[in-house]
Amino acid sequence: RKEVDESYPDRVLLAEANQWPSDVVQYFGGGDECHMAFHFPVMPRMFMAVRREEAVPIYEILEQTPRIPDTCQWGLFLRNHDELTLEMVTDEERDYMYAEYAKDPRMKLNLGIRRRLAPLLDNGRDEMQLMTAILFSLPGSPVLYYGDEIAMGDNVFLGDRDGVRTPMQWTGDRNGGFSRADFAQLYAPSLMDPVYGFQAVNVEAQLRTATSLLRWMHRFISLRKEHPVFGFGTYEPIEPSNPRIFAHLRRFEDDLVLCVHNVARSAQAVELDLSAQQGRYPVELFGRSRFPPIGQLPYLLTLGPRGFFWFELVEEEREEPRDE
């Protein structure tokens, strides 16, 4: 790592170790070995939480995640170029995930599910935004897989892992704008089905639409970059009154952000114990809307189906005394 830091300051050493977090920390050394390591077990539990409509799996795996050196970071992801790995779950949980997310046997590969994000979530826009919000709120650096920002699909009829490695869909033109070669010359064919095909889903079309998933993703990434607390802050889980809610605080220096996510497909109410932050008032990060101040009583919030709130907890500004 010393050689990389001195000779290649813009590079990182990233460990791809599909192990429990307590074992992966060895790759960090004392902060003098790998810069980053993927956190594999958190990913299947996010999908499990959304389908079960309970946040317990996410809380449990984060509780089992040890502290790492300040000069290191976790790499977090929803999907990647391989299968959705189910090695770090129990046999019962694996059977449940197969039953819910891999109803066609061709979707299974090794100990995992070879599907992209959008098909896994039935192409649900609310579900994709919720999963992205949870990912971006967790301690670590989010890693996005190409095509997920436009809700690309997969092709389970292609062999091995090629089903989730189809060409990027840039335009509605030939081969999705990926290549001018003959279609038959491509190693993996572009998707052409009516739901996920490149004529229906592509970058060019989404850039022209202000409400598209790609445009939303651009805004969301910019928002996260505006708040260093997500990259450097501590993670403090909050035990909510409602098990369908995943809530936690991120704290860095004077910045304090509250993240609340509803993993249920129905509207939910939750009471959060924020008495330690009494006197502060939540400001919703997207619209900068100010919510009622926090008091001694539990703070009540209502969230829409698969909805979420990110709040900056701001101290009450005191009025300066006027000179008479």
* Tens digits of residue pLDDT in 248-263: 999 999 899 999 999 9
Asked whether residue 320 is domain-assigned, the answer is no
Which CATH number characterizes residue 247's domain? 2.60.40.1180
- Clarify whether residues 177 and 246 are in a common domain: no
- Clarify whether residues 127 and 249 are in a common domain: no
3-state secondary structure 130-142: HHHHHHHHCCCEE
- What residues make up the domain containing 157? 2-225
**Structural domain count, the chain:** 2
- Clarify whether residues 17 and 154 are in a common domain: yes
- Clarify whether residues 107 and 151 are in a common domain: yes
Please report the pLDDT score of residue 257 as a whole number.
97
Residues in the chain predicted with pLDDT less than 50, given as ranges, are 318-321, 324
Asked whether residue 251 is domain-assigned, the answer is yes
State the number of CA atoms in the 13 A half-sphere of 189 facing the CB: 11
Q: What is the pLDDT of residues 201-254, one digit of tens each?
A: 999 999 999 999 999 999 999 999 999 999 999 999 999 999 999 999 999 998
Asked whether residue 39 is domain-assigned, the answer is yes
Boundary of a domain, candidates 192, 225, 258:
225
Please report the pLDDT score of residue 323 as a whole number.
53
Asked whether residue 188 is domain-assigned, the answer is yes
**CA distances in angstroms from 9 to 1, 29, 68, 218, listed in the order given:** 10, 19, 21, 26
Tokens for 229?
């607390």
- Clarify whether residues 84 and 106 are in a common domain: yes
